[in-house]
Structure 1
Amino acid sequence: MADPISDLILRVALRDRSAFSALYEATSAKLFGICLRVLKDRAEAEEALQEAYVKVWNNASRFSITANSPISWLAAIARNNAIDRLRARRPETVELDEEMGGADETPDPERLVMSRETGARISACLDELEANRADAVRGAYLDGYSYQELAEQFSVPLNTMRTWLRRSLMSLRKCLET
């Protein structure tokens, strides 16, 4: 027996508006949660959700029952859309005081030394990880790549990438605590 969400997506691919409405009813709360978690702004998350469903409507024919879990497929669309919005945000405007040379915010020598030491410790701990795991951590947390992008880059399943990152962060925490 086929999954009801899969059936709805297949009917949406045939431009069935009632199926689209039912799909929205069945999945919008979960997808909104994903958008809200990424964007941390309710209004922007609502806009991202709307855009995600437009993408679902336009790309439902690309859904493959054998290759994708329907919820994973929908969640990836919502998450990637929210991440795209996050990346597209304009940098915050510069305050006039900063532009006019307000207070000197250069760290004092003690903070510079501490910052360098912390950076060196993190770097040393990253070096203790397997090279591909360390590269994945840098990609996710320094370069802003999504889990899906990293999974594709390293040619591993999405859940494997999540496991790599979770275990790597646990190893880093343990290393930094010693």
Structure 2
Amino acid sequence: MSDAHTLDPQQLRTWLNGAAHRDAAAFRSLYEATSAKLFGFALRILVKRELAEEVLQESFVAIWHNAGSYQSHLAAPMTWMTTIVRNKAYDLLRRSDDAVEIDSDQFDAEVMNALQDPAATPIEALTMSRDAKALAYCMSALEGMHRQVLGLAFFHDLSHSEVAQQMALPIGTVKTWIRRSLERLKTCLAKGDRA
């Protein structure tokens, strides 16, 4: 397999053109040259290896079927193929509840553990436990991708740029989602205080 940094865009265009004309050898060469990089990209989005493998397979089926629609003046070959992989990965996330989202039971336990203070009095421990449950409930009310971005930023201690890289999202989107999610959490927690 070729190193992703030495891939020749013109060669990739040639193989894509061959695939458009149903040249299996050209398609095989395209796959061998790009699959490792595209798999890595899918894995960063989906985290689970088996999900990334599924997306890679679906993506190459789509590349085979859509190679004739590739327009070199609109995007470089790797950009076009990466977009297909990204779209397939997000499609999988949308239809799969357990793909990458934070496991709510594990999340609840982690929040509870993070808020526990071994030196706390029983009354303080009860208050912290109530706060942790309220936070876990409000987190579960967030949309899946927003919860994931917030979880990566605050519970896995990743920077905004690291979250953007891992989720394959623009950094502006990550910052907006985090800001909006924090506002929703604040509103949700405030409603809980009144109840």
TM score, norm. by length of structure 2: 0.51
Q: Distance in 2 between matches of 1:44 and 1:162?
A: 22
Equivalent residue letter for 1:111: D
The runs of 5 or more residues in structure 2 that have no matched partner are: 1-7, 100-104, 106-111, 113-125, 150-168, 180-195
1:1-22 C-alpha deviation (Å, 9 max, x unpaired): 9711111111111111001000
Instruction: Report what 2:67 is aligned to.
Output: 60
1:6 matches 2:26: no
Paired residues in the alignment total 125
SS at match of 2:29: helix
Match of 2:131 among 107, 111, 116: 111
1:41 matches 2:61: no
1:166 to 1:141, Cα distance in 2 relative to 1, 3 A: closer
1:28 to 1:9, Cα distance in 2 relative to 1, 3 A: same
1:70 to 1:42, Cα distance in 2 relative to 1, 3 A: same
TM score, norm. by length of structure 1: 0.55
Q: Over aligned residue pairs, what C-alpha RMSD do you find?
A: 4.1
1:66-110 C-alpha deviation (Å, 9 max, x unpaired): 011110100011111111112111469xxxxx9xxxxxx9x9487
Instruction: Report what 1:141 is aligned to.
Output: 146
1:6 to 1:38, Cα distance in 2 relative to 1, 3 A: same
SS at match of 1:64: coil
Q: Distance in 2 between matches of 1:90 and 1:167?
A: 24
What is the deviation of 1:111? 2.1
Match of 1:69 among 71, 76, 89: 76
Percent identity of the aligned residues? 32
